[in-house]
Amino acid sequence: MAQQSELEADIAVVGAGLSGLAAARRLVAYGRSVVVLEARDRVGGRLLNEPIGGGAVVEVGGQWVGPTQDRVLAVIDELGLSTYATYDEGDKLFEMNGRIRRYRGEVPRLNPVVLADIAQAQFRLDRMSRTVPLERPWEARNAEQWDRETFASWMHRNVRTAGGRAFCTLVCEAVWAVHPADLSLLHFLFYNASGGGLDRLISTDAGAQKWRVTDGSQRIAERMAEDLGEQVVLSSPVRRIEQHSTGVAVTSDRHRVRAAHVVVALPPTLTNRIAYDPPLPGIRDQLCQRYAQGTVIKTMAVYPEPFWREDGLSGQVTSATGPVKVCFDNSVPGDGRGVLLGFLEGNQARTLGQLPLAERREQVLDCFTRMFGPRAAKPKTYIERSWAEEEWTRGCYGGFLPPGGWTGHGRAIREPVGRVHWAGTETATVWNGYMDGALTAGERAADEALAAR
């Protein structure tokens, strides 16, 4: 390893995703000096714009913002950026048991018995979620019971129809990017409460998929980094954090930063890939051993025009068949071309992730063709990003806990370890896993570092 140059700051920040940048921005606003060390040669972490030519960009990472995500909406405004509505006109498609049905609104036209089953499951899940304290999910009245089982086991006892279970599985994969058998019921309920309930999480018009950021969501991170200037250091993966009685030394491949405190703004599993001296307490390390990232491959196909709109279709699909289970029209307004977005999530992403690109592309385009007809088979461009393969992310959309995670280890999620403070969207209480949560988590960790002596 080359000799590291020495830097000094009041507070060091690890990670230039939204959370680390929000922490740095807050610290600078309070007159503190910061150094943000980022492993990649770019800022934004799980936000990444992909140019598709002609000045248009699509996002291969996080992209949507929605109502009640007040912090991210305010920051977009403060940075002089703007949003536009997700394309949401025309019929949606729902595929189950080999049948594709058109529908309007949020709920597909299914057998009334299945619809009633889904409604009772949603009512119960939302009611249980409201009893989970966002700051301390492990203190929910039924925490022990809920953290002992998976969402799958709850579903198999409480959702009576095969259609209802297929729908719940779809929702779990679409929102958490994991199979229901991987997920603690308590984590499901916490995350659901954190985002304001299932309708908010899954809806386009009234929920988390309502708006997109003009010029791409990575612009939020880029604009924040522009304001921070040379205080953001790229291509500088942090390997080691040492603590002593008066400060910390944060060592990356290129720098050694001395500071009074450090904010670590990474997904929990990545925080465990840094060496700590003294070592972290067992409870913190074991929490991060459990806090896995979901699995998503985000795919897009670019066509000369959004031809599905001529057929009165919105481009939005939910399919119990898959492997692409969720689609959107991701065309860029004013660009003229049509972009179909398809998510491979959870087990589908894991399985297809093992295939050569050409085979995966073929399977994705087969899904688009089934939904939108033969014109979907031959896009001008095919784009995909597999986030599990990314060394500095290792999965998305966010992290999740399996049974026993919250009740056994959850109290370590935000608890500072001496001079080390934890940020990242996985530490958020509101909109955990989303850009909004990343921002508030960074600001909360900055406040902790400011208040600490």
Ligand X SMILES: Cc1cc2nc3c(=O)[nH]c(=O)nc-3n(C[C@H](O)[C@H](O)[C@H](O)COP(=O)(O)OP(=O)(O)OC[C@H]3O[C@@H](n4cnc5c(N)ncnc54)[C@H](O)[C@@H]3O)c2cc1C
Annotated binding-site residues for FAD read 19, 38-39, 238, 426
Q: Which two tokens stand for residue 272?
A: 């465990």
Please identify, using beta-carbon distances, which residue of 152 and 396 lies nearer to ligand X: 396
Question: By the 8 A CB rule, do 315 and 204 touch?
Answer: no
Helix axes 162-176, 346-353, angle to 10 degrees: 70
For 445, the token pair is 């960790």
Write down the residue that tokens 């925080």 correspond to: 271
Listed in sequence order, the residues at least 6 apart from 447 whose beta carbon sits closer than 8 Å to its beta carbon are: 26
Minimum distance, C-beta of residue 222 to ligand X, in the bound complex (Å): 12
Our CB check for ligand X shows the closer of 64 and 87 to be 64
Q: Which residue from 93, 61, 89 is spatially nearest to 367, judged by alpha carbons?
A: 93
Q: Which of 218, 208, 206 has its CA nearest to residue 40?
A: 218
Q: Considering beta carbons, is residue 165 or 290 the nearer one to ligand X?
A: 290
Contact 442, 20 (CB under 8 A): yes
Q: How far is the CB of 441 from ligand X (least distance, A)?
A: 7
List contacts with ligand X (CB under 6 A): 14-20, 37-40, 45-47, 61-64, 237-238, 265-267, 270, 274, 296, 298, 387, 392-393, 396-398, 424-425, 433-435, 438
Of 297, 300, 250, 298, residue with least CA distance to 449: 250
Q: How far is the CB of 298 from ligand X (least distance, A)?
A: 4
Nearer to ligand X by Cβ, of 15 and 163: the residue is 15
Nearer to ligand X, 118 or 183 (CB): 183
Task: Give the nearest distance from C-beta 271 to ligand X in angstroms.
Answer: 8
Which residue bears the tokens 């036209």? 109
Q: How far apart are CA 251 and CA 267, in angstroms?
A: 19
Radius of gyration of the chain (CA): 22
| Residue among 122 and 271 whose Cβ is closer to ligand X | 271
Give the nearest distance from C-beta 149 to ligand X in angstroms.
26
Kindly tell me which of 79 and 118 has the beta carbon lying closer to ligand X.
Answer: 79
| Alpha-carbon gap, residue 384 to 213, rounded angstroms | 20
Q: Which residues are annotated as a binding site?
A: 19, 38-39, 238, 343, 426
Q: Which two tokens stand for residue 310?
A: 């001529």
Q: Do residues 166 and 173 lie in contact, with contact meaning Cβ atoms separated by under 8 Å?
A: no
E runs forming strands in 195-337: 211-213, 232-233, 238-244, 247-252, 255-259, 261-264, 275-277, 292-293, 296-303, 313-319, 326-329
Is residue 130 within 8 A of residue 226, CB to CB? The reply is: no
Annotated binding site for substrate: 343
Contact status, residue 413 vs residue 401, Cβ threshold 8 Å: no
